[in-house]
Structure 1
């Protein structure tokens, strides 16, 4: 079973949409939350966060989009997975900021199915790092009512990075729903994180206004890890203090919006 032993409490199934198939790990009961892992994969700290969402009365759906499910993080694993993802141009738009990645269509379909199976007011969705901005683009599907953007890092390599990885049409749809349905968006980052520059959060603020709740943390709030402060809900989460408060705010947000 290998690294997947870390997911022993989960039920695994393959989900296919539009000729795309990825494995998904499911646990819990109640309204659905889609937990999208960060680089390099569905590692133990992402699973820990998903466990806490499930324990709060929701059903978590954890797609494995890259990497090895359950494998702990180390530098070699991060580097190898990063190189692999850069080659997955059919699914991930690493450099472009004017539209969402193609894999988001698959994630929207997963959210629709999860809502149909689990009920509630709608589906929560959290992306992290590479997937950080996906939850916003997923809001073009009516099932998604609670998007959380944790350290949204795409697109990479753009000076100032004011772009947010959604098309104008997608953004217009999101803004319409925020106003019409009284919804909101949470964004999280460490202020020093070069992968999530100031300009990107300023774009969220400008476009989403008071519907965007920004949670921005200092370096001293981060738990020690093998990379500089970046992963708010996972690698750099402390069990007390501001990062723990951020985790609890996200879980409460999911409970409130989904009707858990």
Structure 2
């Protein structure tokens, strides 16, 4: 069975190469383009379900497989296997003030998606390990909407790491200029999530000003919605798809945000 069949018949697959880097990309739907950047361990069923939701809402979804095995479940074993490979990969920089090399590849994919799909621009949704990549991909001018769901990198170690965005100074200046123009950014996190600390959202608010909208879902012990204090993945693993639940409200806001930016 091919990986695209495992993910779903609504997706086709192709290899995308830029600057001597090649990754498989799954593409489905019609309408304005949205790149969905998966979390660790990879394109697990929760990420694919979110992509299907976007397809149903009228978007062309691009699902690059950056690491891990497409369609593999998000088990502890898969996560451990992926983390070992990611940590030794030269594509991903874990430093607080360095832009990861893979961002150049993602920017090229976003530009290609814009040429293929048209519309006012492109949306990018990043999750956990790739949450910050959604912002960095906005170095590409066609990206008008960036969604950072629980951005966990750079590693939140020390005061500097907790506040860092994982961009070098020149790239951060470019993103700031774009935020003063036509870029808008939406961030999602659980309040008790140590992997995505509040200092990171404070940096985003200071740096991007009114271009940044932050949604912080109460996951403190004894919270009204019964969310586990260990909750992390807002749009996938920790999502409770019931009307009125805070994670469902957050996901619906993501859909509305993309519609505002990509459908006018």
**TM tier, shorter chain?**
over 0.9
Give the secondary structure class of the aligned counterpart of 2:158. Answer: coil
3-state SS of the aligned residue for 2:261? Answer: helix
> What is the CA-CA distance between 1:25 and the residue it aligns to?
0.3
1:252 corresponds to which of 237, 256, 261? 256
Q: Counterparts of 2:119 and 2:213 in 1: how far apart (Å)?
A: 23
Instruction: Pick closer, same or farther for the CA change 1:118–1:76 going to 2, 3 Å.
Output: same
- Residue 92 (str. 1) matches residue 92 (str. 2): yes
Give the aligned partner of residue 197 of structure 2. Answer: 197
Q: Which residue of 2 aligns with 1:163?
A: 164
- Is the 2:156–2:163 contact (alpha carbons within 8 Å) kept by the matching residues of 1? no
Q: CA distance change for structure 1 residues 155 and 172 in 2, over 3 Å: closer, same or farther?
A: same
Name the structure 2 match of 1:21: 22
After TM superposition, the structure 1 = structure 2 runs for residues 57-136 of structure 1, keeping only pairs within 5 Å, are: 57-88=58-89, 90-94=90-94, 96-136=95-135
Shift of 1:92: 0.4
Q: Which residue of 1 aligns with 2:138?
A: 139
**Native 8 Å contact 2:34 2:61 kept in 1:** yes
Q: Which residue of 2 aligns with 1:184?
A: 184
Worse-matched range after superposition: 24-33 or 239-248? 239-248
What RMSD in Å do the two structures reach over aligned CA positions? 1.6
Whether contact under 8 Å (2:215, 2:250) holds in the other structure is: yes
Instruction: Flag the structure with more relative contact order, 1 or 2, with Cα contacts below 8 A and sequence separation at least 6.
Output: 1
Distance 1:251 1:54 in 2: 11
* Mapped partners of 1:67, 1:125: distance in 2: 20
Structure 1: where are the runs of 5+ without partners? none
Task: Specify whether residues 239 and 114 from structure 1 end up closer, same or farther in structure 2 by C-alpha distance, changes over 3 A only.
Answer: same
Structure 2 stretches of 5 or more lacking a match?
none
Instruction: Quote the residue 2:173 is aligned against.
Output: 172
Moved over 3 A (4+): 220-224
**Alpha-carbon offset, residue 180 of structure 1:** 2.2
The match for 2:232 is 230
Contact 2:121 2:143 in 1 (8 A): yes
1:41-92 CA distances to partner (integer Å, 9 max, x unpaired)? Answer: 000000000000111011000000001101111111111111111111x100
**Normalising by structure 2, what TM-score?**
0.92
In the alignment, is the contact (CA less than 8 A) between 1:223 and 1:235 conserved in 2? no
CA 41–238 in structure 1, closer or farther in 2 if over 3 Å, else same: same
Task: State the Cα distance separating 1:127 from its structure 2 match.
Answer: 0.5
TM-score (norm 1): 0.94
Rounded to whole Å, the distance in 2 between the matches of 1:139 and 1:154 is 17
